Amino acid sequence: MSEAARRRLAVLGSPISHSLSPSIHRAAYRVLGLDWSYGSADVTGESLARYVGTRDSSWRGLSLTMPLKRDILPLLDSRDELVDLVGAANTVLWDADGSLRGFNTDVYGVERSFRDAGVDALTLVHVLGAGATAASVIAGVARLGVTEAQVLARTPAKAADLVVLGRVLGVTVTVIPWAGSLTGRPDAVISTVPGGESLPEFSREIRCSATLFDVAYDPWPSDLARSWSDAGGSDAGGSGAGGTDAGGAVISGLDLLVNQAVGQIRIFVNADPTIELPDEAAVIGAMREALTP
């Protein structure tokens, strides 16, 4: 089948009906003038191999949610260095010969979301949660100069990989039990915890100075985002507004959603996450508009 005929894509997960990925991807492909279809499919780790193995040659690629980002690894024929670094692939691309390549665009999404908020340098960060998303977060903020990350973990023993990752990146990662205390004055607080879960409270001093990046976006604003707003913070991402003198900036998980998707679309279009899309600013604008109720 010709390159042009490989026009089918989808996001996989379970549950997946709530996903906003189809809306933003379709908006992007309309701007790019590509007659591609992008849907969603309820797929579990147990059914992933069968699903991937039964796609025909009309398929171009897939987006993956957790835990499929890890479950996909044994099925890949090749993968980029970021996949090996953080142990997760959120994007797969079928090559013309049918081989499957894995990529990670979450790391780029984290870095880009901070930069879009005007945050180009960080030193100390507090990270809430120690799952796969935390690994991408640490790799992303390492690109912004972070040298220390304190990770609050419900199960510290499961966070050992983050310490190893930190050594590779030149970041000192300290894992702290959930009931413990984070120390120091962070440049950013990053929550990788699903929306609705209880989280620790932060002092007004931290809420007035540190950038908050909450990867959750449903519901939004989250309780954590509200606490930053109460201290005078502002939405730094989709609105394009920076922080204020009275409070740290707040970055929504919607910004991460869009930015990691931009990386995915670059892969689907160019087979390379580093090559920008034609008129990428217009593409991103359409993606953000697709998120507007």
Give the residue numbers annotated as catalytic, written as ranges: 69
Q: Is the Cα dihedral 250, 252, 253, 256 positive or negative?
A: negative
- DSSP-assigned beta bridge partners for residue 10: 39, 62
Alpha-carbon distance 40 to 11, whole Å?
A: 5
Could you identify the residue written with the tokens 């990270």? 127
Q: Which helix (H) or strand (E) holds 64?
A: strand 59-64
Q: What does the alpha-carbon distance between residue 37 and residue 35 come to, in Å, rounded to a whole number?
A: 7
Return the biggest CA–CA distance within the chain: 59
Residues 96 and 57: their CA atoms lie apart, in Å, by 8
Q: Which strands sit side by side in the sheet containing 78-79, from one edge to the other?
A: 37-42, 8-13, 59-64, 91-94, 100-103, 78-79
The tokens for 19 are 């996903």
Integer angstrom CA distances of residue 198 from 74, 96, 128, 129, 204: 34, 46, 11, 12, 18
In 3D, which of 8, 220, 199, 192 has the Cα closest to residue 106?
192
- To which H or E segment does residue 10 belong? strand 8-13
How far, in Å, CA of 113 to CA of 283, rounded? 16
Torsions phi, psi for 60 (to 5 deg)? -105, -45
